[in-house]
Chain A
Amino acid sequence: MVALHTAVLTKGVPDFREGQVSFDEEGHLERGKTPTVMNPNDRFALEAALQTRVRHGGTVSVMSMGPPGYKDVLREAMETVYADDLYLASDREMAAADTWATAITLSTALEKLGGLDLVIAGFKTADGETGHTGPQACWALDLPIVTHVVALDVDPEAERIRAKRLVEGDIEEIETVEAPLPAFVVTDPEFDPSYRTAGDRLELKDLREETQKRAENFEDHLTTWDHEALNLDPDYIGLDGSPTIVSSVDPIPKAPAEREATMVDPDDEEGMQEILETVQPFAGGD
């Protein structure tokens, strides 16, 4: 094997962090007022790709499907982790796709990219939370899949990967599995890259520096494909190609307050005295 080529799948999601996200009175997400960011779990997929790049060289491509605004998500991926080049499948015909139609589109784009040794996706997106798209794309590509990966070793000579996966049951277990390349890997949010040599860390520092410079002109490294470029029939992608029917969406009711609270003014001596008397019995730590 000459040099590993890794592709990472990412998605733009509403920024659900406090202060960023905006809901209307009925509890519906206000897309227009909420910024779009890279799906937080995808960071671990990118970290896994970066670690592979540091240890074995090669190239890392980052791919997404979505509206033209997702360019900024790809830029974020390039800036904050690492990417050699960026690919965006973007087209009106692709809009309103469910996970199936998205997987078909992405797997076609990955095939067009070609020559891939490793495809890595993050665990679930913060908006849909299905965890379907990666495995469905993997199925379409007919690759072996390893999910819940917390540590990844690639042996380019043997053309194999060895991964530790987190198996959650009654107790958490770590399982070590091997798979031949090319393979499809889904990282767990517990994925922890490890750089145990100074040489790796210096390489990492170089790559970070290089990638930040590249991100300044990220559009030079961005390829956009519409459905024609991917030779996709509009009937099989986007809304028309989505078998999923969403019957209705219920807002999550607000959790009831679990505790009763009484406000006491700290200057109110009587009130403070009452508090003391109330908590006194618990002062022993029992």
Chain B
Amino acid sequence: MSDEHEHYEAVVVGAGPGGAAAAAALANYGVETLVLERGVDAGSKNVSGGLIYAEESAPYTIDDLFPDFREEASERPVTEYYLHNVAGDKVKTVDITDLHEHDTEWSDSVLRRRMDSWLAERVHEMTRETGGGLLTDVRVNGLLREGGEIVGVTCDEVDPIRADLVVAADGVNSELARDAGLMDWEDPEEWFQGVKAVVDMPPEVVADRFDVGEDEGVAHLFSGDLFEDVRGGGFLYTNEDSVSIGTVFHLNSLVAERAEPHELLDALLTHPLLAQWLGDDYEEREYSAKLVPDSKKVALKEPHEGRLVVVGDAAGQMQAQGPIIKGMNHAVSAGALAAEAFAEAKSRDDPSSAGRRYAKKLRSEGVMKKLRPPQYRAVSALGERDAVTNVVDGVLTSGVGRTAIKALSGQLDRLFGSPFLTSMVPDTRTSYVTLPTIIAEELGTPVREESTVEPPTLADRIGDLTYDTDIGNPHIRLVDNSVDASGAAVSACPVSAQDFGGGCYREETVTSNGDEERVVSLDTQPCVECGTCAVVADTEWEHPRGGKGVEFREG
């Protein structure tokens, strides 16, 4: 009986930056707000590259809502930013600090466990004042409906809860967005996948190797032939006493090339260019992975349905445009705008208009334009067709193209520094592989160092992660175990690999009645809950129950 259900004015699902911003803003408006987080601690399920931006043009920044954020929860400000074009051992480095600083009030590196758990403490204090609060270890598993209308949420650990506003900030694998029919995990073209290693490095070593002071930090990006033909790139960000090194690839490209994400990461880690920074004392603290929505393709134009509003990754609000990668800042804007919309709707005595008002604010505040830039649409219509890519690549690799690149050499910094050009960059082999490779071949200088880095094996990486396995209750079910339907997961899953028995997915030969058949099998124990297999394989995919599954310590 619905009368017996608990009721809160607002329920926020997920305590990442989007959920935290929504909850803090709601609390500021005096709205009784309950926040439900499925991890044992906020941030224990969350991974990002991660740089967080405060944009000058943004309606809200994280330190607007949480004034001590930079002192308490972030790592280092990014004071220098470089893009490295790599071809073999030749590298051409471009300073893109200007591009990075365009529309940037500040930008800090972050580790999500530290950041999100700090945010969650503040959010709990703020929301508790309203009669709500923040709970961990509670997984929201779907929407509560009454007569077809969304009226609240259902959970694994507690009884259904009614709410006037449901904020789905439940991340890239949002079960609520899916329940509402707003998002699917069908097309690998719409997603990126990132993997990351957090590498231990005492502050004095960071200072020495990167030539930075206490309140300074560096960001490096890598593109070119490091990763063969897989479309994507790498990054390195300095933290207080560690560095984050990762690679991000188009998921369809990973699948097409049957590439192993952890091997692509290793290719970056062991490249001679990184030897100067990693030295001979490489110690990996944590290996992690994350699926990243491509906002250009999936950012929801109307991220709402009845009482439900969707923010952050759950709504595809992740901007990856050339070297600029922005997600958390948009989640913060969206979360706070959703709160603003609800407060407005409530004051006009028209709570059902919150969703519509939220979508309107995303447009009027310029958030949507960043997520789905119009100039990208114009260029990509032409630029992402294979035929065009091949012709352009052909010209670039020919003598003509190479001469042109050489002639442009003096202007490279300026070209890469143009935010307008960056927003036009199509997602093709040309921009990720061909162009950087040629730049490096023609203009680069060879790297002299030799790498002594020996990354851990995948088995060791999995072994070092913390899990609380929900024994007998796997959260992913393989619906079709044929190699055709689900074989791609064996290589694309960041904790699986061909010929590796200790991962989630593996290919096996099954003999029955004399027939031999190759099938895919699944063991969810090592799962890092990235969601890759939900896109590339035929699965029924849910999050584990509250507090169960992987627990990231760094994130």
Contacts and interface: CB of A to CB of B under 8 A. Distances in A.
A254 interface: no
Interface in B18-54: 34, 36
Given A205-B133, A205-B135, A198 B161 contact: yes
A206 B125 CA distance: 11
A175 B121 CA distance: 42
A195 B133 contact: no
A199 interface: yes
A205 B157 CA distance: 15
A197 B138 contact: no
B132 A201 contact: no
Contact of B159 (A196, A202, A205, A206): A196
A196 B159 CA distance: 6
Interface string A188-232: 000000011111011001100000000000000000000000000
Interface in A253-270: none
B158 interface: yes
A196 B158 contact: yes
B128 A198 contact: no
A197 B133 contact: no
B6 interface: yes
Nearest to B135: A201
A199 B159 CA distance: 11
Contacts of A199: 6
A229 B545 CA distance: 51
Contacts of A196: 157-159
Nearest to B124: A205
Interface in B144-172: 157-159, 161
> Which of A195, A202, A206 lies at the interface centre, i.e. has the most chain B CB atoms within 10 A of its CB?
A202
B81 interface: no
A197 B138 CA distance: 11
B8 interface: yes
Nearest to B155: A198
B135 A202 contact: yes
Interface residues of A, number: 9
B132 A195 contact: no
A198 B157 CA distance: 9
> Which of A197, A198, A201, A205 lies at the interface centre, i.e. has the most chain B CB atoms within 10 A of its CB?
A198
Contacts of B161: 198
B6 A197 contact: yes
Contacts of B157: 196
A197 B135 CA distance: 11
Interface string A120-133: 00000000000000
A235 to B, nearest CB: 53
B31 to A, nearest CB: 15
A16 B482 CA distance: 52
Interface in A229-250: none
Contact of B6 (A195, A198, A205, A206): A198
Contacts of B158: 195-198, 201
Contacts of A206: 128
A198 B158 CA distance: 7
Contact of B128 (A195, A197, A201, A202): A202
Contacts of B34: 198, 202
Interface string A143-181: 000000000000000000000000000000000000000
A206 B135 CA distance: 11
A163 B9 CA distance: 35
A59 B135 CA distance: 24
Given A195-B158, A196-B158, A196-B159, A201 B6 contact: no
A51 B417 CA distance: 60
B6 A202 contact: no
B215 to A, nearest CB: 33
A198 B13 CA distance: 13
Contacts of A195: 158
A202 B132 contact: yes
A206 B6 CA distance: 18
Contacts of B159: 196-197
Contacts of A198: 6, 8, 34, 36, 133, 135, 138, 158, 161
A202 B124 CA distance: 10
A145 to B, nearest CB: 32
Contacts of B135: 198, 201-202, 205
Interface of A: 195-199, 201-202, 205-206
Given A198-B36, A198-B161, A202-B34, 16 more contacts: A196-B157, A196-B158, A196-B159, A197-B6, A197-B158, A197-B159, A198-B6, A198-B133, A198-B138, A199-B6, A201-B135, A201-B138, A201-B158, A205-B133, A205-B135, A206-B128
29 contacts: A195-B158, A196-B157, A196-B158, A196-B159, A197-B6, A197-B158, A197-B159, A198-B6, A198-B8, A198-B34, A198-B36, A198-B133, A198-B135, A198-B138, A198-B158, A198-B161, A199-B6, A201-B135, A201-B138, A201-B158, A202-B34, A202-B128, A202-B132, A202-B133, A202-B135, A205-B124, A205-B133, A205-B135, A206-B128
